[in-house]
Structure 1
Amino acid sequence: MPHYPTRRKVRPINPHKLALSKWTAVVALNKEKHFLVTRVVPPISPDLPVEEIELQAVISGRSVVLPWRDLQDDARWHQGWV
């Protein structure tokens, strides 16, 4: 029987429910791996969808703003603190 590669699951993420969620970077960013979503950046107009979130490093408190869709990339982020 041939072996077929398994399909990666796409995690459904609702950007409005990301606030205070925990994330682990697969590759450390500035020696920081554990992050918390501190803010969902509101769009310029209420008619536009949410595009960005603010992540804060747990250790240093440094914040970075990035597109929320980046969190769906399993090669870069894991949900929760691993």
Structure 2
Amino acid sequence: MNRINPDKLLQSKWTAVTPQQRERHFIVTKVIRDDQDEHVVEVVLQAVLTRKDYPLAWRELKDDSVWQMGWK
């Protein structure tokens, strides 16, 4: 399981273990917080190859069978 500090997610780099449509490398471009701006709710990942944005619950990045930290 990946250890993640939610305050340091912005601009972090991620690699999809199983790429979809040749999209393997991603950057966190946006961090969405709750109404009180206390807790991170979700992030927006942008595919480096296609520049498509994908919203994702930030805790899903902890699953190391799906995501790896950094670009591999």
Determine if the TM-score, normalized by the shorter chain, exceeds 0.5.
Answer: yes
Q: Which stretch of the first structure deviates more once superposed, 10-19 or 60-69?
A: 10-19
Instruction: Calculate the TM-score normalised by the size of structure 2.
Output: 0.90
Tell me how far apart the structure 1 counterparts of residues 69 and 36 of structure 2 sit (CA, whole Å): 28
Tell me, yes or no, if the aligned pair for 2:2 and 2:61 is still in contact at 8 Å.
no
What stretches of structure 2 of length at least 5 have no aligned partner? Answer: none
Which residue in the other structure is 1:62 paired with?
52
Q: Which has the larger radius of gyration?
A: 1
Q: 1:31 to 1:46 in 2, by over 3 A?
A: same
Tell me how far apart the structure 1 counterparts of residues 67 and 6 of structure 2 sit (CA, whole Å): 15
Aligned residues: 72
Which residue in the other structure is 1:36 paired with?
27
Tell me, yes or no, if the aligned pair for 2:2 and 2:64 is still in contact at 8 Å.
no
Give the percent of matched residue pairs that are identical in Structure 1 and Structure 2.
46
Instruction: Calculate the TM-score normalised by the size of structure 1.
Output: 0.80
What stretches of structure 1 of length at least 5 have no aligned partner? Answer: 1-9
Tell me how far apart the structure 2 counterparts of residues 70 and 80 of structure 1 sit (CA, whole Å): 15
Tell me how far apart the structure 1 counterparts of residues 6 and 20 of structure 2 sit (CA, whole Å): 22
- 4+ runs of 1 displaced by more than 3 Å? none
Q: Which is richer in strand?
A: 2
Cα RMSD (Å) of the superposition? 1.4
Tell me how far apart the structure 2 counterparts of residues 47 and 17 of structure 1 sit (CA, whole Å): 15
